[in-house]
Amino acid sequence: MKPGKATTGKSITAGGAGKFYEEPIDPYLPGVGNRGYRVSRYELDLTYKVASNRLAGKATVTAATTQARTKFAFDLSQSLAVSKVSVNGTRAAKYAHQNGKLTVTPAQKIPSGGALSVTVQYAGTPKPVRGPWGEVGWEELSEGAIVASQPNGAASWFPCDDHPSSKASYQISITTDSPYHVVANGALVRKQVRASHTTWVYEQSEPMASYLATVQIGPYERRRVATNTPVVMHAVLPQRLRTRFDHDFARQPEMMETFIRLFGPYPFADYTVVVTDDELEIPVEAQGISVFGANHCDGRRGSERLVAHELAHQWFGNSLTLGAWRHIWLHEGFACYAEWLWSENSGGPTAREIAAQVHRTQSGLPYDLVLGDPGPTLMFDDRVYKRGALTVHALRTELGDDNFFALLHEWTAKYRYGTVTTEDFTDLAAHYSDRSLRPLWDGWLVGRTLPALRDV
């Protein structure tokens, strides 16, 4: 088996008007993602009441059809009730909202390649989506809200094509109670205060996968940190955590400069770190934003490894996004290796030393995991992160530092804002080696046993 070979689904007409049996877009998440159109833009106009966790919205999804079909589906949680749907400015002939799918029948048939603009009005009490990886999506905090949607939580707050290969620009407008600070992806283009309510409008112009779309609402203050780095960086957090934050995140500007040197230009206009007043089990990546919990500010830099991990996702995951969830090591293996690179570049143990130690621990674990196709239940398993990072390290050893870092630069430039697969990476890597890398990929990505490291 060749790692990274894309699975292309086919749609099979089972006879009958509009009845289709369709292979899932992604076998790891068979319920989500939709066929027949490509979204280019989402415009979300939302109102949120913090005290009652009530969300009301109007979403306009702009797309181009890729097939002539009678109806089009969007992912949308049943926690939200749809009140009106229009297509290209006229009321939809029909719509149905069942099992997390909003199916829309336009009044007039749209040819393939035609414009599809769907406006959906909806409201409800948003709840996270439950799955094998815990609860993801819109979640209430003690005071405010957090959105962390990897992998399928976007449908908990807006109608979407909830698959990472579907990337689009976004405008997110949120009206909420005035005392709260709101962060969403991209640039704040407008803020309008009206007595008890404030409207915040954010524009995300670089393409973004739906799981990376986010809204953060809380009793936060926003501050610019690091005024002399090439990338504008902000911190958004409760006032009470400021002293600890200033200590724990002090090396972030240096980290940003290190990663730009090692990976290539930072892909977005700015970078914001949000720290919630609540504790969070794990930090969360969003496009241009990372979200940490109050517990990640311990005043001892105890989470600096995670600060590096989340920042690295801006290149590996957010700018370059997997085309199917089986390629998850392209996100987590690289972000984990970035932790080791940060250590090496900031006076800590070298990546080689960390790799040797991690390899010893991994050798003692039962190995039934195939890194290039771990399966849906294991896709966020710690072994994907650690073996993924070891794979990147094995490649670095094989190529040598000059070629390895040149490859990383070309990888992040060639596929900037795009969709990537394992095969895209192995194909590109082949240009940086005189010898075939096939044995390396077979061992690390396809094999079930842990290959030895060459440099330890």
- Contacts to Zn ion from residues 335-364, by CB under 5 A: 335
Residue closer to Zn ion (CB basis): 45 or 332: 332
Q: Cβ atoms within 10 A of the Cβ of 277, count?
A: 18
Q: Which residues pair with 172 in a beta bridge?
A: 44, 202
User: Do β-strands 167-177 and 197-209 pair in parallel, antiparallel, or remain unpaired?
Assistant: antiparallel
- Taking the complex as a whole, how short is the minimal distance between the CB of residue 392 and Zn ion, in angstroms? 14
Helix axes 252-263, 304-312, angle to 10 degrees: 40
Angle at 159 between CA 157 and CA 162, to 5 degrees: 90
Helix or strand holding residue 101 (H, E):
strand 101-105
Residue closer to Zn ion (CB basis): 332 or 373: 332
The two three-digit tokens of residue 392, written as one number: 């990147």
- Taking the complex as a whole, how short is the minimal distance between the CB of residue 309 and Zn ion, in angstroms? 6
User: Would you count residue 320 as binding Zn ion (CB under 5 A)?
Assistant: no
Shortest Cβ contact with Zn ion: which residue?
335
- Taking the complex as a whole, how short is the minimal distance between the CB of residue 290 and Zn ion, in angstroms? 10
Phi, psi (degrees; rounded to nearest 5) at 220 = -110, 155
How far is residue 205 from each of residues 24, 188, 267, measured CA to CA in Å?
A: 29, 12, 12
User: Do β-strands 289-292 and 270-275 pair in parallel, antiparallel, or remain unpaired?
Assistant: parallel
Residue closer to Zn ion (CB basis): 123 or 306: 306
Of 106-114, 237-245, 326-334, 399-407, the window that binds Zn ion (rule: CB under 5 A) is 326-334
Residue closer to Zn ion (CB basis): 63 or 328: 328
- Taking the complex as a whole, how short is the minimal distance between the CB of residue 252 and Zn ion, in angstroms? 17
Residue closer to Zn ion (CB basis): 29 or 335: 335
Helix or strand holding residue 395 (H, E):
helix 382-399
Among residues 59, 64, 57, the alpha carbon closest in space to that of 42 is found at 59
- Taking the complex as a whole, how short is the minimal distance between the CB of residue 47 and Zn ion, in angstroms? 32
Q: Report how many residues bind Zn ion under the rule CB under 5 A.
A: 2
- Taking the complex as a whole, how short is the minimal distance between the CB of residue 440 and Zn ion, in angstroms? 23
Of 41-49, 79-87, 328-336, 394-402, the window that binds Zn ion (rule: CB under 5 A) is 328-336
Query: Which residues bind to Zn ion, rule: CB under 5 A?
Result: 332, 335
